[in-house]
Amino acid sequence: MKLIFQFIIILFLLSPQKTLGQDTTSSILKNWTILKTQLQRRTNVVINLVQILNESNKVDKEVLTNLKIHATDIFIYLDTLKHFDSLSIDLTMKKYNTLNESLTKTIILIESRTKFNNQIDIINLMAQLNGAENRIKVARYEYNESCKAFNRPGLQFWEKGDAKAVKVEF
């Protein structure tokens, strides 16, 4: 009887346990893959926006060139990313924030010029961009929640201005 009881305990200890970290990587990685896909989709919209604005000749070429460089940079980085760790997440965040800054300048130019308000292509791309931003926000939230659930705060994905990006000294 004692031998059977010991055998059951050993089986229990050797059986896969969700809380033992075996699902940690897969859950976080699954949500990271979703977030990465949404970031790449957004980048495609940005590249399409640059192409349409380039054809219009109404926006400064330097602004558009910088925007395309930042969009292409993050797309290629995410596409070739092999190692999933805090350093790669931090670099992705930096590239994401740089693209955001460049995109913000472009959007300000678009909104300040009434010539673009009637162009259906630009209106459609701006709507796609808005949808992409919303999907990123949801994917980022779910990814960060999976990092919190498995106590991996170093892997969380923050935007500039979020808690991680602000340095506070006491």
Domain for residue 12, yes or no?
A: no
Compute the distance between CA of residue 23 and CA of residue 17 in angstroms, rounded to an integer.
9
Q: What is the CB neighbour count within 10 angstroms for residue 107?
A: 14
Domain for residue 18, yes or no?
A: no
pLDDT of residue 13: 60
pLDDT of residue 60: 83
Domain for residue 1, yes or no?
A: no
Instruction: Kindly state the tokens that stand for 150.
Output: 């498995």
Domain for residue 87, yes or no?
A: yes
Task: Give the distance, in angstroms, between the CA of residue 168 and the centroid of all CA atoms in the same chain.
Answer: 24
pLDDT of residue 170: 22
pLDDT of residue 95: 94
pLDDT of residue 107: 86
CB-based burial of residue 57 (10 Å sphere; 0-12 exposed, 13-18 middle, 19+ buried)?
Answer: exposed
pLDDT of residue 166: 33
- Which residues constitute the domain of residue 94? 24-155
Domain for residue 40, yes or no?
A: yes
pLDDT of residue 162: 52
Contact between 27 and 149 under an 8 Å Cβ cutoff? The reply is yes
Contact between 70 and 95 under an 8 Å Cβ cutoff? The reply is yes
CA distances from 66 to 53, 63, 81, 100, 154 (A): 13, 5, 22, 12, 30
99 CB-near residues (< 8 Å, 6+ apart):
43, 46, 67, 70, 71, 73, 74
Total domains, the chain: 1
pLDDT of residue 136: 95
Domain for residue 50, yes or no?
A: yes
User: Kind and range of the H or E element at 10?
Assistant: helix 2-14
Domain for residue 162, yes or no?
A: no
One pLDDT digit (tens) per residue for the chain, 170 residues: 676 766 667 655 665 544 454 566 788 889 999 999 999 999 999 999 999 888 877 778 888 999 999 999 999 999 998 888 889 999 999 999 999 999 998 888 887 775 666 678 888 888 999 999 999 999 999 999 999 998 888 888 886 655 444 332 32
* Cα-Cα end-to-end distance for the chain: 60
Domain for residue 6, yes or no?
A: no
Q: What is the CB neighbour count within 10 angstroms for residue 42?
A: 23
